[in-house]
Structure 1
Amino acid sequence: MTAVVDRIIASKSFGRSVTYANLLRYLVACSESGDPPKEVTIAADILGKHDFDSSQSSLVRVHIYKLRKKLAAYYAREGAAETIRLRIPKGSYAITYEGVTAPAAPPPETPPPAPMPDTARRRRSVYPVLLVTLVLGAVLTAWWYGRASHTPPAPPPFWVEIFESPRPKQLLIGDLLMYEDTLAAESITLRNGGVNSREEFDRYRSTEGDAGSRYRLLSYGLVMRNSTLDVKYLTELFTAYGSDFEIATMSRFNPRELAGHDLIVTGMLKTHGLFRTYFPRARLQLSGPDTLTLTQADGSRRTFTTSGDPDRRHTDYGLIRKTRGPNGTVIVVAGGLWDTASAQMVKTITQPTLLAELTAALETEFGTLPERFEVLYRVEGIDRMELRPELIWMGELDE
């Protein structure tokens, strides 16, 4: 079976990914030894994820899904004549071998019919030709439309690096930190607008309650309702370009995943965890739960603060950042001070018209689409829904 695996890995359809080549060899070896691997062993032995938790990450399932697609592509092209084919049944990581039945032999020839008069022969010969032409036309039409529907279009310039990257993609949704009062007669779940990270919670607890022991951090957070729109917009975008992504909340994010994932970070800026301070040289900084500060070219500072009632008419501010992370990963941040601008920023980078407007503005400002940049929007909203976004500042990010 080694020769079969080598043929598959060397094929053009399989591609040149060392990770997927190692994964295929690993699954074959485990299956032949009668010890089919589990998600956690694949994550540790092939992907280097020794603390992998399958309930929190679909990384292994994504790799297996893509491996199935590579095998299908091989057997549809270079391996079309293979009589024994490798399969990975759904719900399993074991390799199975399936035989392919050879085409049946053609039936024996029958003697030709007696000749007919020329007029009848000409009339009857028209019908098979016409039928073949119609069938062939229908087949070619179906093939063309099928090919068009299964070939993803070229992604917009903003997304090219992510969609052409072999790395897994992860959507990080900012969630609000929750804690409880342990001295209350009944358990009370609490939420504080000024406490949105573990450091802020520790600082708050040390100054409140019974010598800092009154409050206990909970293991879950609160996700805002507009986060469902983030998932919707990004799912539609990724599906259109033949890609997929994992979903995680910021409170459960492991910083070690920075080096192996392309990331899209969404939600209110105060819920962005380590990404609130991940860009120390950025000119836009979160300086309060509801305030952004811009350091202008002359060194002066300008602040942008939300105003109004988020449940009625109000003004919000949002930012979009794109930069590089460790090992060349791509990090896209789309968030707002409130969830109004947060949802609008995700909409801006996923909806074709809005994204084209942003791209054109950046190209006009800098002569080309910068590899690293940040932009600031003002968003007028009502009842936590956007009404009118306005791009008010653009700048390049230092490495």
Structure 2
Amino acid sequence: MNTRPETALKPNKNALIEHLTRIEASDTLGRSKVNCKLINYLVNHYIKLNEQGSEYKSPKEVELAIEVFGRASDFNPAEDAFVRVYISNLRKKLETYYQTEGKHEAFCICIPPGGYGLSFQHLPNTQLKATTTEIATEIATHTKLEADHLAPLADKNNLGDQSDLPTKKQNSNIFNWRTGFIALGVILLASITTNLWLWQQVEPVKVDSYQPIRQHTLWRDLFSNAKPTLIVVGDLFMLNERDPDTNRPRGIRDYGINSYADLEDYFAQYPHKRASVTVAQSAFLLKNSVFAVKHILPLFADPTRVSIRLVSDLTPDDLRDYNLIYLGLFKSLGAIDAYIQGSNFTLGRHGTALTDKTTNQVYKVTGNLQQEYTDYGVFTKFVGPSGNIIYSLAGFSDASVIQMAKYLTNPNKLNSDEFTEHYQMYASQAYQNFELMFSTSSFDRTDLGSQVISSGKLNVKAIWAMPH
């Protein structure tokens, strides 16, 4: 954290509770129930021991797993590091809070690395304010002392008492001192003015943090051809119907209907619904559409070379005329699902499971979406029918799509040993068609991290093969 705390303190209970309330109401931490629950427990643990007059001891990992996350009493931290992951995430969120919304707080709550205890530190900006006040007071004091020293001389001069006046040499010294002081002030003012003018004339150097990402072989092809790019957002297949009781129109989402083909199968099974159910004209988007786009859009220094379109509006011509980047769920792939024909996985009927064609291992969301769960996503890159480049970042839930977009636009991740291990054989021009599977961890839809777990070549001929 840039605002590195320097001086330890022990805030009183009321100040700490008020501080905690502001943290829980902030945009940085307040949107995550798990972060709020965790920081609340840590603070109240500190207050409880403090009120008892006991020596403060940080809670144990097992205690947090049981009390905060509802794990069983036989939880073994040696086999599951999820508490450490959540603490690490909370530590980063607190650092962000004190750099942004909480930058004017009098103190900060810290979780020192290597443990789960709290420490409370003065923030440097508070110390700086105090130091500045002290300096200003000292200057004012010295100014007053000098003014008090000179005032009697001026008063005696006005009274005309020649016997008490300083000698000519003393007057000369005072005059020279005052003249020198004024001259020094003029020079200093001129220097400041000149430097300000020069600073305004110099163009600030703009650091483009995305340039190394554009130059990486993963993304470089996107900017080396002449085609514009479409960021394709996966929207969900929505339906309209009339409420049989009120006759009012309403929008509905049937999880088993994700395409026109699914809808026809539905009508075949329930023919009486054909008269009352229609396809909705309004799009329905999940949060991955917004948060994932946030990571991809800055790749484009020239905004005229990129557009955003819903997958439901994608045309066959778009698959030929544009470079494409799909962001969305497996169930919303639409026309981009052609890549599944050349994939190493088969996609389940409703887009809720992937099966490895070689090992028959099944990948799907495990756990409770309202608590801790594991999601899977697949990143694919392959050549389109006209030499255009198509990327797809698809997952079962928001977590995998957002985490893949974040991971693949992070230069540290792109240069990590983990990524290189799976990607290095596809880095040359000879291997443009491949897929990477990601495993992502989340708690209550809070994204905690991701890793590449497998990779494989795509059969591009199968992708663009004419249907039989």
Q: Spell out, residue by residue over 1:240-288, the C-alpha distance to the aligned partner (whole angstroms, 9 max, x if none).
A: x887410011111112111110000011111111222333121123224
Please name the residue that 1:127 is paired with: none
Deviation at 1:193, TM superposition (A): 1.3
Q: For residues 200-279 of structure 1, what are the structure 2 equivalents within 5 Å?
A: 200-208=262-270, 210=272, 212-239=274-301, 244-279=305-340
- The separation in 2 between residues aligned to 1:277 and 1:377, in whole angstroms, is 20
Name the residue aligned to 1:121: none
Q: Deviations over 1:5-29 (max 9, x none)?
A: xxxxxxxxxxxxxxxxxxxxxxxxx
In the alignment, structure 1 residue 306 sits paired with structure 2 residue 368: no
Q: Give the alignment of 1:150-161 within 5 angstroms.
A: 153=211, 155=214, 156-161=216-221
Deviations 1:146-198 (A, max 9, x none): 5x758984522111100122211000000111102246321121101121112
Matched, 1:378 2:439: yes
Q: Quick one: distance in 2 between partners of 1:161 and 1:255?
A: 22
> What residue is the counterpart of 2:457 in the other structure?
396
Partner of 1:324: 383
Matched, 1:163 2:223: yes
Residues 173 and 227, structure 1, Cα contact 8 Å, conserved in 2? yes
Q: Call closer, same or farther: CA 1:275–1:179 in 2, change over 3 Å.
A: same
* Over 6 Å off, 4+ runs: none
Offset of residue 238 of structure 1: 2.1
Partners of 1:335 and 1:346 within 8 A in 2: no
Number of equivalenced pairs = 260
Q: Which amino acid aligns with 2:390?
A: I
Map of 2:249 onto structure 1: 187
- Counterpart of 2:393 in structure 1 is 334
1:224 deviates by: 0.1
Aligned partner of 2:289: which letter?
S
SS where residue 341 of structure 2 aligns?
coil
Are 1:295 and 2:361 an aligned pair? no
CA contact (8 A) 2:419 2:452 kept: no
Matching of residues 108-127 of structure 1 within 5 Å? none
SS at match of 1:326: coil
Which protein is richer in helix relative to its size? 2
TM-score (norm 1): 0.59
Deviations 1:315-347 (A, max 9, x none): 111000000001100000011111111111111
Structure with higher strand content:
1
Structure 1 alignment gaps of length 5 or more: 1-133
d(CA) in 2 for partners of 1:284 and 1:377?
A: 13
Q: Contact 1:267 / 1:336 at 8 angstroms: preserved in 2?
A: yes
Residues 364, 171 of structure 1: alpha-carbon distance in 2 compared, 3 angstrom cutoff: closer
* Paired residue type of 2:386: N
Q: Secondary structure at the match of 1:278?
A: helix
The answer on whether the counterparts of 1:174 and 1:266 sit within 8 Å (CA) in structure 2 is yes
**Is 2:342 aligned against 1:281?**
yes
Distance in 2 (CA, whole Å) between partners of 1:232 and 1:244 is 16
Question: Deviation digits for residues 21-40 of structure 1, max 9, x if unmatched?
Answer: xxxxxxxxxxxxxxxxxxxx
Question: Counterpart of 1:223 in 2: which secondary structure?
Answer: coil
Residue aligning to 1:79: none
Determine the structure 2 residue equivalent to 1:362.
422
Q: Is the 8 A contact 2:377 2:437 kept in 1?
A: yes
Rounded Cα–Cα distance in structure 2 between residues aligned with 1:379 and 1:334: 13
Larger Rg: 1 or 2? 2
What does 1:73-152 correspond to in 2, within 5 Å?
142=202, 146=205
1:27-66 maps to which residues of 2 (within 5 A)?
none
* 1:353 lines up with 2:412 in the alignment: yes
Distance 1:355 1:243 in 2: 26
Query: Alpha carbons of 1:150 and 1:321: their partners in 2 closer, same or farther (altered >3 Å)?
Result: closer
Q: Could you say what secondary structure the match of 1:280 adopts?
A: helix
Q: CA RMSD in A?
A: 3.0
Query: Using the alignment, how far apart are the partners of 1:365 and 1:167 within structure 2?
Result: 26
Q: For 2:408, what is the secondary structure of its paired residue?
A: helix
AA aligned to 2:255 is G
385 and 255 in structure 1: CA distance in 2 versus 1, 3 angstrom threshold: farther
Which runs of 5 or more residues in structure 2 are unaligned? 1-193, 461-468
Q: Residue 218 and residue 353 in structure 1: after superposition, are their counterparts in 2 closer, same or farther (change >3 A)?
A: same
The Cα offsets for residues 43-95 of structure 1, whole Å up to 9 and x where unpaired, read as: xxxxxxxxxxxxxxxxxxxxxxxxxxxxxxxxxxxxxxxxxxxxxxxxxxxxx
- Report the CA distance between 1:218 and its aligned residue: 0.8
Amino-acid identity (%): 22
**Structure 2: how far apart are the matches of 1:366 and 1:331?**
15
